[in-house]
Amino acid sequence: MGRSILGCVVRIVTDSTADLADDQQRAAGITVVPLNVRFGDEVFKDHVDLTGDDFFARLKTSPQLPKTSQPAVGAFEEVFRRHRDTGDDVVAVLISGKVSGTVGAASTAAKSVDGEHIDVIDSLTTSMALGFLALEAARLAKTGADRAAVAERVRSLVPKARVLAAIDTLTYLEKGGRIGRARALLGSLLNFKPLITLQDGEVAPLGRARGRLQAIDRLVELLQRDGRVSNLAVLHGGALSDAQRLKERVAGNYPGLEILLVETGAVIGTYTGPGVIGFTYLIA
């Protein structure tokens, strides 16, 4: 980790909805604070206590929808204090504040610990689009950039972050209270698959497709419409074979670009339901 001209290291913090794999976290030196998922009386930490496969298996058989919650303020305080105790600055880039209270919890923790040396950034996105922002922040921090420069870079990329997804049903989003502007699609989806995105930080409709194959065709069209991308991942929830085929389908359009396969965790899966598939990326 590089030191800035002021002599301090900039530490990057994100949350579990960024869908970063353990090896990515370790290699980049990113600290991940997990959100929580509750099935009845059982509470699990996202991406820690439940794998994606375990979660979606539970979701399919659970008589009631699980509940999600942001990390406690104390969880962020612990992480922030650990970094500040070693003299390091912190940039925390987190899931959209319009779909989670995570940014609010982190902001409260930052003020409690040392607000002058901790930046909390609302990414207005989630999944690997958030992960890409955290990875870019970590890359820049390793070059010795200071906290202000790292935070400025992340904020400049927020408008370029995209999430496109096809889901089997809006039921999970509606019951979980995260449906946002995609409510407009309700009542018109018999035999159709809804397409959704995050727009200005909240769930918004992209339209509908007749069946899964048409939905995937539409996702590819939407991705291509955005032109060049600097980072790209195929996301899925319990749909690995579909995700692999989707990756193979678009790989030829992005020579030299590593396309990641990302299984979304329990928090995002609570609202998309099983079978979600899509793209997360940063526009170049």
Confidence band (pLDDT; 50, 70, 90) for 274? confident
Residue 267 clears pLDDT 90, i.e. is over it: no
Band the pLDDT of 184: cuts 50, 70, 90: very low
Model confidence at 231: pLDDT above 90: yes
Mean pLDDT value across residues 164-189: 60
Whole-structure pTM value: 0.91
- Domains of the chain by start residue, with CATH: 10-34+71-158 (3.40.50.10440), 38-67 (no CATH), 160-283 (3.30.1180.10)
> pLDDT-based confidence at 280, cuts 50/70/90?
very high
pLDDT in tens, 128-155: 999 999 999 999 999 999 999 999 999 9
For 48-99, what is each residue's pLDDT tens digit? 998 888 888 888 888 888 889 999 999 999 999 999 999 999 999 999 999 9
Q: What is the pLDDT of residue 16?
A: 95
pLDDT value at residue 257: 96
Q: 89-94 and 10-15: which strand pairing? A: parallel
* Inter-residue contact 197 to 206 (CB < 8 Å): yes
Q: Which residue has the tokens 């987190």?
A: 94
Predicted confidence (pLDDT) per residue in 19-54, tens digit: 999 999 999 999 999 999 999 899 999 999 988 888
The span from the CA of 148 to the CA of 117, in Å, is 9
229-236 vs 277-283, strand pairing mode: antiparallel
| Strand ranges for 79-129 from DSSP E | 89-94, 118-122
